[in-house]
Structure 1
Amino acid sequence: MRVLLAEDDETLGSGIKAGLAQHGFQVDWVRDGVAAEREILAQMHEAIILDMGLPRQDGMQTLKNARLHKVKTPVLILTAQDAVASRIEGLDAGADDYLVKPVDLLELGARLRALVRRSHGETQSILTVNGICLNSTTRTVTLQDSTVELSSREFDLLLTFMMHAGRVLTREQLEKHLYSWGTEVSSNAIEVHIYHLRKKFGNDVIQTIRGVGYVMPKSQT
């Protein structure tokens, strides 16, 4: 799950990035509001963590600009201000959730997963498609009640397909979901991961749409 972190504090930013990475998140980190707005408008992320006290352009203005451009990506704001008025302003500007610093990483991860689930119309941490049951909190997968061992990349790719079941995804879209900035991606990385998923779940679990991309059917006949 790829998320954008906009935080100018080096210690906090590096801690959040490292902590979320341990829980399966791919984190792109920017340090000012102008850079954050640029990345938000590109809409490459499943969720956004937005500090309110950013340089060049504060988080509140960045959030308002994103919503004016009809960006629907869920936003969780970070603020050092515990005042009710500050929280209300952020939520009214289009934020979906907030956390007051200092941040508990386990809670941050849980809130991000919840935001992403809701943005895809899901309310539970467990997704089920075609007999495959995936728990995004425990990062476990079962097929017909039997546990299936997956690598971290395989899990993230399966999660992406399950959250977009029935929708054709291009290789470029899949790479954007799986890999953060600066990660070297081999030309056939997605195909290799799909090959392994098919070995574990069957050839029909992910179908190739020639010349377009890949799709996980919502139901198999």
Structure 2
Amino acid sequence: MRILLVEDDVMMGNSLQKGLGANGHAVDWLQDGSLVEGAVQSNTFDMLLLDLSLPGSDGLDILRSLRAARKRLPIIVITARADVKDRIAGLNLGADDYLAKPFSFEELEARIRAVERRISGFAETIVRFGPLNCNTATREVEFLGEKINLSSREYQILSALLSRPGAIVSKAQLTEKIYDWDSEIDSNALEVHIHRLRQKLSTKFIRTVRGLGYQLVDEPLQK
């Protein structure tokens, strides 16, 4: 999942970026509220983690503007404003969840997964496609009944493909989902990761559609 983190506190921003990155997310971090709408316009994010007390533009104003523009981007407010009236204001303006500081990192991750499931239509933490089961809470993957150990990047690619099961996902779309602004991307990096993922699953489970991208295949398969 590619996440836009908007947080002006340097210590918290660093901590969240590192923690979320270690859990397999691509995280871009902004500290100025005035930069948010431009970033959302020019990039494809899966979720926005939005502080409210920001330089440049207040978080509630950002939320109001994004929803007025009919942006369907899932938004979790993370803020020290814990009053009921602030929570109500954030939720009424279109936030998908509201988390008051201080909070545990584990709770934030759980709320991210819950919002992701709700938006994608998956009620359970287990996502199934053909012979593959993926536990989005524990990041455990089973293929043909066998547990598979994936690297963080391999899991990101699989998760991106599972978000659109059976559909063709372009190389550009995959790249945008798994790499943040600070990543150095080799020209064939994505192909290398997909090759390794195929070796761990099945060469036929991830199909290359020439000139278009990649898709998961729900057909009888064997390793």
**Secondary structure, in 3 states, of the residue corresponding to 2:110?**
helix
- Letter in structure 1 aligned against 2:196: H
Rounded to whole Å, the distance in 2 between the matches of 1:144 and 1:4 is: 35
Distance in 2 (alpha carbons) for counterparts of 1:19 and 1:201: 27
Match of 1:216 in 2: 216
Which residues in structure 2 correspond to 1:1-221 (within 5 Å)? 1-217=1-217, 219-220=218-219
Distance across 1 between alignment mates of 2:139 and 2:104? 19
State the distance in 1 between where 2:81 and 2:150 align: 41
SS at match of 1:98: strand
* Bigger mean CA offset, 63-72 vs 198-207: 198-207
Structure 2 alignment gaps of length 5 or more:
none
Unmatched tracts of structure 1, length 5 or more: none
1:140 CA displacement: 1.2
Indicate conservation of the 8 Å contact 1:41/1:66, yes or no. no
Cα distance per residue 1:122-168 (max 9 Å; x no partner): 12221111111111221111112211121111111111111111221
* Shift in Å, 1:200: 2.0
Once the two structures are superposed, what CA deviation does each residue of 1:2-55 show, in whole Å capped at 9, x if it has no partner? 111001111111111122222222211001111112122335111110001111
Amino acid paired to 2:189:
A
* Equivalent-residue separation in structure 2 for 1:172 and 1:25 (angstroms): 17
| Residue identity matched to 2:219 | Q
Aligned residues: 220
Share of identical aligned residues, percent? 38
Comparing 3-12 with 201-210, which one deviates more in the overlay? 201-210
For residues 38-93 of structure 1, the C-alpha deviation after alignment (integer angstroms, 9 at most, x for no partner) is: 12233511111000111111111111111122211110001212211111111111
